[in-house]
Structure 1
Amino acid sequence: MTGHEPPTALPRELLERPDVRSALATHDFGTVFHVARTEAGISYSMIAAECGIKPERVGTLAKGHGKVTTFEKVVRIADAFRIPGRMVGLASRPWEAPPEDAAPRREFLKTTAAASLAVGLPELSRPSAGGRVGSDLPEKLRQRTARLRRLDDVLGGGDTFRTYLGEYQSTRALLRARSYTEETGRGLLSVLAEQAQQAGWAAFDGGRHAEARGLYEASHKAATDARDAPLAGNALAFLAYQELPGDRQAGVQIAARSCATAGPDAAPGVRALLYERLAWAHAVAGNADETERALEAAQDALNEADGAPQPDWAAWVDETELQIMSGRCWTELRRPLRAVPVLETALARYDDSHARDKALYLSWLADSYLAAGEVEQAATVAGRALALSSGVASVRPRERLEPVLRRLGEHQALPAVAEVLDMARS
């Protein structure tokens, strides 16, 4: 196959066009067939011959009627049009260039992320030994922390933990060794709480669970001492997440306490974040009604957003994130008919550059497809998650995929399943 260029191969500029990319992501091949004929001059009869579909069926799909749903047809269409596997939820096809080795990919991401962060990273003038800290230092540190937080968009905790921990330790040493006003001290404690949460998250993501718990507890104390209720609530939300799925009821109680601690006057984005984490705790505990109420509370909080600035540590929570959390919750509650549509819609908008997070979210989609009995589709999605997580220094995508892969093993006679299991082994 690698040496044959089919007559239906689409030009790269068409494949990269936003409307075509969107159609491919949702397996809307009728749109692809229409574009192929009208803009690439590929006849329906040629498409039919290469894709193994009857000509009249090609025309019907191009008019927007019907959908291609079988794994074999998706593969055949991808090969006929030379659509890279990643664009339709498949592993790389044999005719594609060999995937980059994971280590160079990770090093490239680390280097480019560090380079971009270096531009505009607030420079700090540290006071000399025994010197007094200026009132502007907490805000400078907060800006620096926000900037460094962007590393988490592209790198896993295995790569970021030492960086985040170093920032936390530096601020903690400054608090102990320098003098400052009471107001500046509270500001520094608030920043310390943020830094401890970020370092704790990286530790958790890298599989360092004991260190994560210690950092979350330190964050809660610092935020409480700083009288920063939203950050104190967020520290509890992290602790609740850590508690699950071991002690589920304790996780629910801590998550509920996190919402109460932040209070009704917290910024909308903060309340949305804490309520969606409460929803997750209820879902893991099997509490469907409570899950739905928490998701509704998160949506209500988002609806209150009026464009006012949100704390940077909560600014990533938006409609797409809430949709994904909703899909994750319904997956945990074994409601695939509710989970699949919302996850499909949200993930179609979620960029592959957020490889770790998208791989994680795809694992829940694969899980729901399995629960619905759609084994081949589950295998396709699991393969996409495996490909995305390759080279990311996070233990969580593979941990989440393991039970899905084990259940897929019951269907290994299916070609789609055999392919993804072989991919997992390699």
Structure 2
Amino acid sequence: MTGYEPPTALPRAILDRPDMREALAAHDFGTVFRLARRHAGVSYSKIAAECDIKPERVGTLARGQGSVTTFCKIVEIADALRIPSALVGLASRPWEASESPPAPPHAGTKEIGTDVQRRNFLRATTGTLAVGFPSITRPAMGNRLGARDPQRLRARAARLRRLDHVLGGGDTYRVYLGEYQETTRLLRESSYAADTGRAMLSVLAEQAQQAGWAAFDGGREADAKGLYQESYKAATDAGDADLAGNALAFLSYQAVSGDRRAGVDIASRSCETVGPEAPSGVRALLYERKAWACAVAGLASETERALADAKEALDGTGSEPQPDWVAWVDATELQIMTGRCWAELHRPLRAVPALEAGLAQYDDSHARDKALYLSWLADAYLSAGEVEQSAAVVKHALDLSDGVASVRPHRRLSTVLRRLGEHRNVPAVTVLLGQSAP
């Protein structure tokens, strides 16, 4: 691919146009095609041939009807039109000139001490996976995949998942998406036995969920939904009920911000997808997310029942193996989710003790998550009439979220700040609002 220059390659001047940049950022490829024909003279028939799209489909898209949502097709379009990966949120493509890795810190540089400095350092070193993280360099694989290859990729996914502990989705999205794209390519271009193919599809489903989570965390809602849907299909095709259930749980988590009833229905389906033989951590996670969907929908008794089911599942965890993607689900996490649910239901007498107990065990290095969870503690304090305490919690959360590439803490804290605005005559609130003003 690197030595081939497609006839549809767009000149830099066209790619630099503001209307083209806006269309690419929005994945509005109909507008991209229209601008390519108008300003670069690239015909729709050439676009169709290079992108493997039916000519009539290209014309339909250019007229503003329909959209391109699958990542495989987005990659094909980016390759055919030579669209730099950064403009459409993809990992670097083979034909792109490799960028120079960031220079390592000078030997005399002051040791990185604060959480924000550490996040900035990690962010700089994850532009390419090999830089700063030699242990997670992608393993070389031949044209014939063996039984060990899915295991190697799953272990790699587990190591990469640790980046989510300290970086937001705005920083990790392209890393995780690149993993998903590369496994998609391996499935398409390699040969393998049926069992290996199913195992690779299961890995693909796991990678799609991680990329979808980063997209959601970074504010790419449409991309997240598409990845979750693709994950569900891959998991179903692989016969992996646990990952299929988790894909539905992710879709539910995203849906509750819009259609709350739909979120509850999807969450219920996710729990029904896995059976009692599923690992206890998986069942606990799915019931937690069902509890959250019920809380957002205002269903108090259903919330309490789902939380009880999650606790029962978690209490049953013994020596059985658990998938790495549920490793973070423990008693502390359940305490925090319990507090979040009761805060959402405006039950501060239940919310505050649970959140305070859980957050006392939560290190500040997990800045994004702790800032997010503190927002519900601040909400609960407000519901209890403890305005000054709410303001103090928000101040801590704002300090933690500084520099985190995630939209979620900022959105949540903005909501709490608006509530605090009703008490702007309280000195602590006056100071906080002044400090947080843009």
Q: CA deviation at 1:401?
A: 1.0
Q: Select which of 370, 381, 393 maps to 2:405.
A: 393
Q: Please tell me the residue identity of whatever aligns with 1:110.
A: R
Q: Distance in 1 between matches of 2:200 and 2:420?
A: 50
Partner of 2:133: 118
For residue 325 of structure 1, give the secondary structure of its aligned residue in structure 2. helix
Q: CA deviation at 1:308?
A: 2.4
Q: What is the aligned partner in structure 2 of residue 33 from structure 1?
A: none
- Asked if 1:324 is matched to 2:336, the reply is yes
1:219-298 to structure 2, matched below 5 A, reads 219-298=231-310
- Cα distance in structure 2, aligned partners of 1:308 and 1:117: 34
Instruction: List, as ranges, runs of 4+ consecutive aligned residues in structure 1 with deviation greater than 6 Å.
Output: 100-103, 112-117
Could you tell me the TM-score, scaled by structure 1's length? 0.73
The question of whether the paired residues in 2 share the 8 Å contact of 1:105 and 1:391 is answered with: no
Closer, same or farther: CA 406–349 of 1 in aligned 2, 3 Å: same
1:286-342: CA deviation from partner (whole Å, max 9, x where unpaired): 110010000000000011101322100011100000000000000011100000011
- Distance in 2 between the 1:135 and 1:348 partners? 43
Q: Distance in 2 between matches of 1:119 and 1:301?
A: 37
Query: In the alignment, which of 139, 154, 172 is matched to residue 166 of structure 2?
Result: 154
Are residue 108 (structure 1) and residue 93 (structure 2) matched?
no
Alpha-carbon separation, structure 2, partners of 1:122 and 1:231:
25
Per-residue deviation, 1:347: 0.5
* Alignment equivalent of 2:428, drawn from 412, 416, 419: 416
CA distance in 2, matches of 1:120, 1:403: 40
Question: How far, CA to CA, are the matches of 1:421 and 1:108 in structure 2?
Answer: 30
Q: Please, what is the CA RMSD of the aligned residues?
A: 1.9
Change (3 A) 1:116 1:329: farther
1:41 aligned partner = none
1-structure distance, mates of 2:422, 2:322: 47
| 1:197-216 mapped onto 2 (5 Å cutoff) | 197-216=209-228
| Structure 1 residues 231 and 117, CA gap change in structure 2 (3 angstroms) | farther
Q: SS of the counterpart of 2:135?
A: coil
**2-side partners of 1:108 and 1:415: how far apart?**
37
- Matched letter for residue 136 of structure 2: L
Higher RCO structure, 1 or 2 (CA under 8 Å, sep 6+):
1
Matches within 5 A, 1:107-186: 107-111=120-124, 118-121=133-136, 123-127=138-142, 131-186=143-198
CA contact (8 A) 1:102 1:390 kept: no
Query: Partners in 2 of 1:117 and 1:105 — Cα distance?
Result: 12
Which residue of 2 is the match for residue 40 of structure 1? none
Give, in whole Å, the separation in 2 of the partners of 1:309 and 1:354.
25
- TM-score scaled by length of structure 2: 0.71
- In structure 2, give the amino acid aligned to 1:248: R
Instruction: Select which of 365, 369, 374 maps to 1:353.
Output: 365
Contact between 1:282 and 1:290, CA under 8 Å: does it hold in 2? Answer: yes
Q: Name stretches of at least 5 consecutive residues in structure 2 with no aligned partner.
A: 1-112
* Aligned-partner Cα distance in 2 for 1:120–1:101: 24
Q: Does the 8 A contact of 1:102 with 1:391 survive in 2? A: no
Alpha-carbon distance in structure 2 between the residues aligned to 1:141 and 1:371: 46
Question: Unaligned stretches of 5+ in structure 1?
Answer: 1-99
- 3-state SS, counterpart of residue 352 of structure 2: helix
Give how far 1:105 is off. 5.5
What is the alpha-carbon distance in structure 2 between the residues aligned to residue 424 and residue 415 of structure 1?
A: 14
In the alignment, is the contact (CA less than 8 A) between 2:235 and 2:241 conserved in 1?
Answer: yes
- The change in CA–CA distance for 1:321 and 1:387 in structure 2 (over 3 A counts) is same
Indicate the residue corresponding to 1:10 in structure 2. Answer: none
Tell me how far 1:245 sits from its aligned partner: 2.1
Q: CA offsets, 1:12-70, max 9 Å, x none?
A: xxxxxxxxxxxxxxxxxxxxxxxxxxxxxxxxxxxxxxxxxxxxxxxxxxxxxxxxxxx
The 5 A counterparts of 1:67-78 are none
Deviation string, structure 1 residues 383-422 (Cα, Å, up to 9, x no partner): 1110000000000001011121011111112221112112
SS in structure 2 at match of 1:120: helix
Q: Tell me the distance in 2 between the aligned counterparts of 1:362 and 1:370.
A: 12
1:121 partner letter: I
CA distance in 2 between partners of 1:123 and 1:238 (Å): 26
AA at the equivalent of 2:269 = R
